[in-house]
Structure 1
Amino acid sequence: MPNTASLSAVLSAMLMVTVLPTAFAQSTVQSTAQTAPPASTSDSFFGLGVGVSTDRSPYTGVGYENHLIPVVSYESRLFSIQGKTADVHLLGDERLSFSARAEYGFGDGYKGSDAPALNGMSHRKESIWLGGVVEWDAGWADLTASWLGDASGRSKGQQVGLGLERDFPMGQWLLTPRIGAIWQDSKFVDYYYGVRSSEARPGRAAYAGKSAISTELGVRAQYSLTPKQTVFLDLSANRVGSSIQDSPIVDRTWLPAVRAGYLYRFN
């Protein structure tokens, strides 16, 4: 078995090569949305496509952020890539599994030049997160629990997420509603939403962030054009935790997001 440092290095390298160019813009809650592979008897799946996303930023004056992104989806018995996450499957079967996870915090943070309300704020950078995830197919729904720590050392924070979703096949359609919650510790909230004493201005008081629980509601619709071609639409709304809402640089409680795209399957 590789040691923790080696595993972290491998996961980080895989993430930078495969996930960074394909990441979706991320809202406050780590969305469980992904493009599910079409049904297949193959042990692996690989697909490429293109997508668009629009996300409401929580930061005052930033508004909506729009992105045109490539989409990569890969699944095998040992390894998978979905959006901004890369998993190495360690233990389990089709019903219950444990994986090591690497995730890039695409869309987290800001630059002081992003909006007048952020002028004078230091750059808050995106982080690389490493941790683990447990996935359970309960029959009536798919349940997910995850823990991630900031491997880049920028926020030095931690996140714990819970998610529930269920697939409803309807001919060529697949409808997947979901609900999720994420706990982010005080270091995470303070880094991304706090205001240091050196950054305080009239109308922007110093603020030390506390841990927060944010929630998400969403639904994903997929339509199979052919056995190898799929289009998808994902709608979600994220409610940020109270200590994030209290930040003087945040002006939104609910953060809507829309993602749409096309995926072509190669095997």
Structure 2
Amino acid sequence: MKYLALCWSLALLSSAVFADGDRGDVRERIEPKGFLYGLGLGINQEIYSGYDYRVIPLPIIGYRGDNFRVLGPFVSYDALEFSDIELTVQIAPRFQGFDESDSFIFENMQERKFSMDAGLGLSYQKKDWKIGLSSMFDVLGRSNGYEAKANISRVFRKGPLFFEPSLSVSYLDSNHVDYYYGVKANETNEFTSQYLGKSALNTTISLSLATPIFLGGFTRIVVDYTWYDSVITNSPLVEDEANMSARFLFSKFF
């Protein structure tokens, strides 16, 4: 189940845009309304020891309306809009986790399960700049965790090519970090020791490239690079301080 996260997340990424000339309405031009379908493919570098790259194909079906959007288990509704500010209600799955079969490092450990998050998002968009804030809670009680995220991006256009560099900072509370990166006293093995996770702050830079010129659909490639807080990288389950992911999406409207 956790392998689906990459492609679901890909489908929800903000559109890549390259501002050149008439600014402010570029996002609208490449985010039409209606039912869509497509295929996602993701390659992700895991930071857990012995947990290497994953390649995940996934068919995608969804809908984008004026205020309501659905893409598989991801749902968002623009509940309030004032000038350039929007308040959004969001529901999203969290396909994090592992079981013993994923790596030697998880031997003797209980499975860490996927969950569902729900919360609010606040965004401000002016011309081709966009600032977003979100607050999401684990509503299934897996980790009982919480994540707050801040993001800033700038969209650009060059002919039929659209680019969006972005920077985001994500705060994860101690419940979340301990569930996915902590080790209980009765879970240790010859490679690990007991570890109690605390709150963490991760940083991600992204670059998105998109174009509508192929096969009458919309093609998007996104590359992310994330630096993890030392609270996470000090876990005996983790061997890398950062990771990179690349994601591909092709979608068309019915």
The normalised TM-score by structure 1 is 0.83
Cα deviation, 1:210-256, whole Å, max 9, x if unaligned, reads 00000101111011116941111111111111100010001111110
Question: More deviation in 61-70 or 196-205?
Answer: 196-205
The answer to whether 1:264 aligns with 2:246 is no
**What do residues 106-154 of structure 1 show as CA deviations (whole Å, max 9, x unaligned)?**
2x11111101111111100011001000011033510100001100100
Secondary structure of residue in 2 paired with 1:225:
coil
The count of corresponding residues between Structure 1 and Structure 2 is: 243
Aligned-residue CA RMSD (Å): 2.7
1:168 aligned to 2:148? no
Deviation at 1:180, TM superposition (A): 0.4
Aligned counterparts of 2:240 and 2:98: Cα–Cα separation in 1: 15
Displacement after TM superposition at 1:78 (Å): 2.6
Q: How does 1:177-216 map to 2 (within 5 A)?
A: 177-216=165-204
Post-superposition offset of 1:265? 2.1
Structure 1 residues without counterparts, runs of 5 or longer: 1-19
Which residue does 1:24 correspond to in 2?
6
Q: Aligned-pair distance for 1:75?
A: 2.1
* 8 Å contact kept, 2:7–2:58: no
1:59 counterpart = 2:59:
no
Q: Distance in 1 between matches of 2:190 and 2:8?
A: 30
- What is the match of residue 33 of structure 1? 13
**CA distance in structure 2 between the aligned counterparts of 1:101 and 1:229, rounded to whole angstroms:** 26
Mapped contact 1:24–1:84 kept (Cα < 8 A) = no
Relative to structure 1, is the Cα distance of residues 234 and 102 closer, same or farther in structure 2, using a 3 angstrom cutoff? Answer: same
Tell whether the 8 Å contact from 2:15 to 2:164 is kept in structure 1 after alignment: no
Alignment counterpart, residue 129 of structure 1, candidates 117, 120, 140: 117
For the Cα contact (< 8 Å) 1:239–1:255, is it kept in 2?
yes
1:165-192 deviations in Å (ceiling 9; x for gaps): 1111111111111110100000000000
Structure 1 residues 97 and 165 mapped into 2: Cα distance closer, same or farther (>3 Å)? same
In the alignment, the residues of structure 1 paired with residue 4 and residue 162 of structure 2 have an alpha-carbon distance, to the nearest angstrom, of 23
% identical equivalent positions: 23
In structure 2, the gaps of 5 or more residues are: 17-26
C-alpha separation in 2, matches of 1:249 and 1:183: 20
Distance in 2 between residues matched to 1:156 and 1:96, nearest whole Å: 29
How many Å separate the matches in 2 of 1:255 and 1:25?
16
CA offsets 1:64-116 (integer angstroms, 9 cap, x no match): 1110012345322231135763211110056210011101112x111111011
The aligned runs of 1:238-249 (5 Å cut-off) are: 238-249=226-237
Residue identity matched to 2:80: L
Q: Structure 2 counterpart of 1:33, which letter?
A: L
Deviations 1:7-27 (A, max 9, x none): xxxxxxxxxxxxx99753589
Asked if 2 retains the 8 angstrom alpha-carbon contact of 1:87 and 1:100, the reply is: yes
Q: TM-score, normalised by structure 2?
A: 0.87
Matches of residues 146-161 of structure 1 in structure 2 within 5 Å?
Answer: 146-161=134-149
Structure-1 separation of matches of 2:221 and 2:213: 14
**Which residue type is aligned with residue 64 of structure 1?**
Y
